[in-house]
Amino acid sequence: MGLRGSGPTRSAVSRPHGSARRGVPPGVQLPPFQTLVDRHAAELHRFLVALVGIPDADDCLQETLMAALRTYPGLTDASNLRAWLFTIAQRKATDAVRRSRRRPTVALDGHDSPVDPHDMTDEALWRAVRGLPPRQRAAVVHRFVFDLAYRQIGERLGCTEVAARRSVHDGLASLRRVVDR
């Protein structure tokens, strides 16, 4: 019965298939979310370490998985869940970098000096990579950490293959300038 005895109401059960219904459309098969996490968490973590560094990677991974879990039931396309997760991770990494740039930083014992290419450690290189603009940083990481083709990088970044190639090129040019200082 509806309100004030106005007759029966249409419940979610009696609605025509798909009308006013959130969730997975008919025919879309989503694996259990935990399966998705088990399959991709380690690779996502490596990607995030490359983008934001070890201290922030765990938090970014957690934020990525929480955001993915919130939107997972409403996905309408399950064709590339891996790319979907990496897109979320990239956005969370970008947010983390923006937050860290707003925090005041203090140079310790003169470590704010230019990078000497002959003394460049892995950490100094990753610091330089993390200093790149978000799209360039993600493109360089996808290309040289995950060895992806430019087409795949474009798919992950939501751009064309040409734009992905340009982002990698620009990122490498920026890194060369840092090293050559």
| pLDDT > 70 fraction of the chain, expressed in percent and rounded | 73
In-domain check, residue 112? no
- pLDDT given at position 57: 92
In-domain check, residue 25? no
| Number of Cα atoms under 13 Å in the Cβ half of residue 144 | 17
What φ, ψ does residue 113 adopt, rounded to 5°?
-75, 160
Query: Which pLDDT band, with edges at 50, 70 and 90, does 163 fall under?
Result: very high
User: Could you list the residue range(s) of the whole structural domain that residue 45 is in?
Assistant: 31-105
Q: Compute the mean pLDDT over every residue in the chain, rounded to the nearest whole number.
A: 78
The structural domain count of the chain equals: 2
Domain CATH number, residue 50: 1.10.1740.10
In-domain check, residue 114? no
- pLDDT given at position 168: 93
The more confidently predicted of residues 169 and 3 is: 169
In-domain check, residue 13? no
Exposed, middle or buried, 146 (CB in 10 Å: 0-12/13-18/19+)? middle
The more confidently predicted of residues 64 and 99 is: 64
Tell me the torsion sign for CA atoms 36, 40, 41, 42.
Answer: positive
Task: Provide mean pLDDT across the span 93-103.
Answer: 79
